[in-house]
């Protein structure tokens, strides 16, 4: 059977006829939420959907309404969102065996979601259909055809061909038959899924071409949905696009089942900035990609991936002295794009691998001028301290203070006379564990003495330090400690292990990192706390 109607679900249009628009289909809220450790609240999902629409994502798959009440509620509440031209999709699977499509609760849930589009997943691989569903091959074709046909009466249908590439390799004729069943029943997009993420780019190219040939008599568009089990999801998605796919499905930051889905950030950036014959997101600037990536990490309560291409904190961070030397003269020697294009920024790191160029690159902020001798002294101090276990890459506030110390501009705001911490465990019937700190400091000629309790010794020290100082420096009440990391490190001397403590502090406007190193965890913490307070006071 041949369909001659044009797809109703439009591919995006291009302002430049020489560039082919590629539709971006985001499944962060469905396949992304299948990633280990990811659980979005209803409000998280609504917020993410809005952000995706703001940057011009063409399709947002909001969830699986058969699966849970939260996804049902999402589709109800999403009706109140202004998503502009973004099409919201509800996801589901073909009808169950031995059930009519109209009686299947999954179908009913899809229709009830009232989205402009529905995405229906069906089985391509003969082995999966017979061994897992227990369906005959004809039965599986009927499940696909009848489900799509029923849904297409109500909605525009995208068909996700699960295991398309494995299925094609096992039984090419049958894999093509499943796509033809979906197309004949009215699916407007056929999305080839590399569900197990095990396919190679050259296989994607060849099998995508075969799929187009097998469906040449249908007026349908093709999409690609790749998983990242071989770290090839981006390469595979781009290969499918080169082979004619007009839609890429994936998730922000590549979150998803097992090793994740393709990272749409990388797909969008590569298609928009590198492959000049394609256009994405209506040719908008891609400057909000970094912010979007971090927003999704924060919402999912996941750690950022520093080395994530394009948007990671380290994506344009330069550490090696020779790299920084070159970057200062010609940035493109070590940057494949201008970081600003994706909303990211260049960072120059300071470490034992630095040359004078690293120091020069950040010296402007400290008005060091062209004092090469001073820069050599700063570099020597960095190398000396890193030999002891310090690491200034993320402790930029401690590095600022180091520059001040070496250049004679450091004026201590207080002097530590002594501190003492007592921590232990009382009789458990009597409040359990406790920690108390006693702090004695000198500000000018005045002695300040205070004590504080905390949840653990570092918290008590932090509270005691700021309590002792707020009489002299009331602005310290604005600071809070937001992260505390401890690591055992070997000093270069190799004599004994040291403890490295990194602290991140904020005053609500700025966040800064400090460091302390000692063979005593309390002393290392104290150094990092003192630097945090001194940094704040030196800013004013």
Site residues for ligand PYR per CB under 6 A: 31, 121, 160, 162, 193, 195, 225, 227
Question: What's the residue count for the chain?
Answer: 540
- In whole angstroms, the minimum distance from the beta carbon of 128 to ligand ACO comes to 9
Which residue number, 33 or 518, has a Cβ lying nearer to ligand PYR? 33
- In whole angstroms, the minimum distance from the beta carbon of 300 to ligand PYR comes to 18
Q: d(Cα 356, Cα 377) in Å, to the nearest integer?
A: 10
- Residues between 22 and 61 that touch ligand ACO (CB under 6 A): 31, 34
* Count of alpha carbons within 13 angstroms of residue 277, beta-carbon side: 6
Residue 66 near which of ligand PYR, ligand ACO, none (CB within 5-8 Å, type-dependent): ligand ACO
Which residue number, 160 or 462, has a Cβ lying nearer to ligand PYR? 160
3-state secondary structure of 271: helix
Cβ-in-10-Å burial (0-12, 13-18, 19+) of 298 comes to exposed
- In whole angstroms, the minimum distance from the beta carbon of 195 to ligand PYR comes to 4
64 contributes a contact to ligand ACO by CB under 6 A: yes
Q: Which of 29, 60, 88, 93 binds ligand ACO (CB under 6 A)?
A: 93
Please check whether residue 490 is in contact with residue 389, taking contact to mean a CB–CB distance below 8 angstroms. Answer: yes
Residue 225 near which of ligand ACO, ligand PYR, none (CB within 5-8 Å, type-dependent): ligand PYR
133 contributes a contact to ligand ACO by CB under 6 A: yes
261 contributes a contact to ligand ACO by CB under 6 A: no
Tokens 């260049």 locate to: 346
Q: d(Cα 113, Cα 71) in Å, to the nearest integer?
A: 9
DSSP state of 366: G
Structure tokens at 11: 């591919």
96 contributes a contact to ligand ACO by CB under 6 A: yes
Which residue number, 103 or 519, has a Cβ lying nearer to ligand ACO? 103
Residue 71 near which of ligand ACO, ligand PYR, none (CB within 5-8 Å, type-dependent): none
288 contributes a contact to ligand ACO by CB under 6 A: no
In 3-state terms, the chain is what percent helix, strand and coil (to 5)? Answer: 40, 20, 35
- In whole angstroms, the minimum distance from the beta carbon of 35 to ligand PYR comes to 12
Please check whether residue 481 is in contact with residue 463, taking contact to mean a CB–CB distance below 8 angstroms. Answer: no
Structure tokens at 56: 């011009």
CB neighbour list of residue 229: distance below 8 Å, 6 or more residues apart? 196, 197, 198, 258, 259
Structure tokens at 110: 């899809």
67 contributes a contact to ligand ACO by CB under 6 A: yes
Choose one: 5-13, 117-125, 242-250, 447-455; the region binding ligand ACO (CB under 6 A).
Answer: 117-125
Choose one: 93-101, 107-115, 314-322, 517-525; the region binding ligand ACO (CB under 6 A).
Answer: 93-101
Q: Which of 45, 51, 123, 155 binds ligand ACO (CB under 6 A)?
A: 123
Q: d(Cα 270, Cα 264) in Å, to the nearest integer?
A: 10
When CB distances to ligand ACO are compared, the closest residue is 67
Structure tokens at 24: 């971006």
Which residue number, 123 or 413, has a Cβ lying nearer to ligand PYR? 123
* DSSP assignment string, 71-123: HHHHHHHHTTS--TTPEEEEEEEPPPTTS-GGG-HHHHHHHHT--SEEEEEEE
Residue 123 near which of ligand ACO, ligand PYR, none (CB within 5-8 Å, type-dependent): ligand ACO
Which residue number, 139 or 393, has a Cβ lying nearer to ligand ACO? 139
- Residues between 470 and 529 that touch ligand ACO (CB under 6 A): none
- Residues between 191 and 210 that touch ligand ACO (CB under 6 A): 195
Which residue number, 194 or 534, has a Cβ lying nearer to ligand PYR? 194
Please check whether residue 330 is in contact with residue 346, taking contact to mean a CB–CB distance below 8 angstroms. Answer: no
> What are the C-alpha distances in Å from 181 to residues 143, 172, 204?
9, 14, 21
Please check whether residue 164 is in contact with residue 207, taking contact to mean a CB–CB distance below 8 angstroms. Answer: yes
Residue 58 near which of ligand PYR, ligand ACO, none (CB within 5-8 Å, type-dependent): none
Q: d(Cα 223, Cα 122) in Å, to the nearest integer?
A: 15
Between helices 372-388 and 356-363, what is the axis angle to 10°?
Answer: 110
Residue 45 near which of ligand ACO, ligand PYR, none (CB within 5-8 Å, type-dependent): none
Residue 64 near which of ligand PYR, ligand ACO, none (CB within 5-8 Å, type-dependent): ligand ACO
- In whole angstroms, the minimum distance from the beta carbon of 354 to ligand PYR comes to 45
Q: Which of 52, 121, 141, 499 binds ligand ACO (CB under 6 A)?
A: 121
Which residue number, 31 or 462, has a Cβ lying nearer to ligand PYR? 31
66 contributes a contact to ligand ACO by CB under 6 A: yes
Q: Which of 26, 162, 177, 221 binds ligand ACO (CB under 6 A)?
A: 162
Choose one: 63-71, 196-204, 316-324, 484-492; the region binding ligand ACO (CB under 6 A).
Answer: 63-71
- In whole angstroms, the minimum distance from the beta carbon of 215 to ligand PYR comes to 18
First to last CA, the chain: 76
CB atoms within 10 A of CB 492: 12
Which residue number, 166 or 534, has a Cβ lying nearer to ligand ACO? 166
CA 158 to mean position of chain CA atoms: 27
When CB distances to ligand PYR are compared, the closest residue is 193
232-257 exposure pattern, b = at least 16 Cβ within 10 A, e = fewer: bbbbbbbbbbebebbbbbbbbbbbbb
Please check whether residue 160 is in contact with residue 192, taking contact to mean a CB–CB distance below 8 angstroms. Answer: no
Which residue number, 194 or 386, has a Cβ lying nearer to ligand ACO? 194
Q: Which residues pair with 222 in a beta bridge?
A: 190
Residue 319: name the closest of 214, 393, 265, 232 by CA.
Answer: 393
Q: d(Cα 473, Cα 465) in Å, to the nearest integer?
A: 11
Structure tokens at 383: 């190398």
Residues that bind ligand ACO (CB under 6 A): 31, 34, 64, 66-67, 93-94, 96, 121-123, 133, 143, 162, 195, 257
């Amino acid at each position: 059977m041949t369909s001659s109607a044009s797809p109703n679900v439009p591919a995006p249009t291009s302002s430049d006829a020489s560039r082919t628009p590629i539709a971006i289909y985001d499944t962060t809220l469905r396949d992304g939420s299948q990633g280990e450790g990811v659980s979005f609240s209803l409000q998280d999902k609504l917020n993410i959907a809005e952000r995706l629409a703001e940057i011009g994502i063409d399709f947002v798959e909001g969830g699986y309404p058969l699966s849970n009440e939260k996804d049902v509620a999402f589709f109800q509440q999403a009706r109140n969102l202004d998503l502009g031209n973004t099409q919201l999709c509800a996801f589901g699977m073909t009808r169950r065996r031995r059930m009519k499509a109209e009686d299947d609760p999954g179908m009913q849930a899809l229709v009830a979601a009232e989205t402009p589009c529905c995405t229906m997943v069906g089985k391509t691989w003969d082995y999966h259909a017979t061994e897992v569903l227990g369906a005959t091959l004809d039965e599986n074709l009927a499940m696909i055809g009848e489900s799509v046909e029923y849904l297409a009466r109500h909605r525009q249908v995208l068909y996700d061909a699960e295991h398309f590439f494995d299925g094609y390799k096992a039984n090419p004729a049958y894999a093509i038959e499943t796509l033809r069943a979906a197309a004949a029943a009215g699916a407007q997009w056929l999305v080839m899924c590399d569900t197990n993420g095990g396919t190679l780019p050259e296989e994607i190219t060849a099998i995508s071409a075969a799929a187009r040939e097998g469906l040449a008599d249908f007026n349908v568009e093709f999409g690609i949905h790749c998983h990242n089990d071989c770290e090839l999801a981006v390469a595979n998605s781009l290969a499918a696009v080169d082979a004619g796919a007009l839609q890429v499905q994936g998730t922000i930051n590549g979150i998803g089942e097992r090793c994740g889905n393709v990272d749409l950030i990388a797909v969008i950036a590569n298609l928009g900035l590198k492959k000049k014959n394609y256009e994405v997101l209506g040719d908008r600037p891609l400057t909000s990609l970094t912010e979007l990536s971090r927003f999704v990490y924060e919402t999912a309560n996941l750690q950022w991936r520093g080395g994530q291409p394009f948007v990671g904190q380290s994506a344009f961070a330069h550490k090696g002295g020779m790299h920084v030397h070159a970057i200062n003269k010609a940035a493109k020697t070590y940057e494949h794009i201008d970081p600003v294009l994706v909303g990211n920024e260049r960072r120059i790191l300071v470490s034992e691998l630095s040359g004078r160029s690293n120091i020069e690159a950040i010296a402007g902020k400290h008005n060091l001028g062209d004092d090469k001798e001073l820069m050599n002294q700063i570099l020597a101090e960095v190398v000396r301290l890193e030999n002891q276990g310090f690491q200034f890459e993320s402790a930029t506030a401690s590095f600022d203070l180091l520059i001040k110390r070496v250049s004679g501009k450091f004026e201590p705001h207080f002097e530590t006379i002594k501190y003492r911490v007592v921590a232990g465990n009382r009789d458990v019937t009597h409040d359990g564990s406790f920690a108390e700190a006693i702090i004695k400091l000198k500000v000018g000629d005045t002695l300040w003495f205070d004590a504080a309790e905390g949840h653990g010794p570092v918290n008590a020290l932090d509270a005691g330090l700021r309590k002792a100082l707020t009489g002299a420096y009331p602005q310290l009440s604005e600071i809070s400690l937001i992260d505390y990391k401890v690591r055992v490190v070997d000093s270069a001397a190799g004599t004994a292990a040291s403890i490295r403590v990194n602290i991140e502090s904020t005053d609500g406007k700025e966040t800064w990192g400090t460091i302390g190193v000692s063979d005593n965890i309390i002393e290392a913490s104290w150094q990092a706390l003192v630097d945090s307070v001194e940094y704040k006071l030196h800013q004013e």
